Every structure is written in C-alpha cells, then in structure tokens.
Amino acid sequence: MTGHGFFKHHSRRYDYNQSAQCPVCPSSIENAEHVFYRCPRFSEERERLHSLLHEVMTPENTTRLMLAVASVAYSVVTRLRDEETKRR
C-alpha cells in the first residue's frame, strides 16, 4: 500500500516514456488504490476476498483487516511453537 511495486504510476518514476494510465481504465492512473479497490481487472480477487472476510475491503478498513489477519497468524505460529517446545 506504499505505492511501490509494479504499478504503472510507480514504474513511471524510472521510465518517463511509460504512461501511468491504467490499460483497462484509461481515465485512471494505475496506482495501488486504483488496482486494489477499483480496477475491473482485479474484481475476481476482490470478490474472493469479500467472500472470505464477509466484508468489502476499502481504503478505510484495509489496515484493520490486515492487522486482524496478522494477529491470527501470530497466534497460530506462537501456538505451534509452544506445542513443539512441549513435545521436545
């Protein structure tokens, strides 16, 4: 979400000949916000995420959702580590 990556908006910093426009939505700049929340190219991924989370990801709730997933992952890994320690 930092804007770094393979987004045309970011790549344009290094190649001024490249357009920052989205190839599917020419009136939009291809940046992280456009790709993650609006671009029709990734609607399938957004729908899959929505069905898993039972919530639509928005710029306002992304951090909360990511922290929830990280918290669960941390809990699982910690529990696995503790079980392995007890087993030894």
pLDDT in tens, 41-86: 999 999 999 999 999 999 999 999 999 989 999 999 999 999 999 9
Contact in structure between 11 and 18 (CB atoms under 8 Å): yes
φ/ψ of 31, rounded to 5, equals -125, 180
- Residue 12 or 38, more confident: 38
pTM over 0.85: no
- Residue 2 or 63, more confident: 63
> Counting every residue, how long is the chain?
88
Q: What is the structure's pLDDT at 61?
A: 96
* Rounded CA separation 15/75 (Å): 43
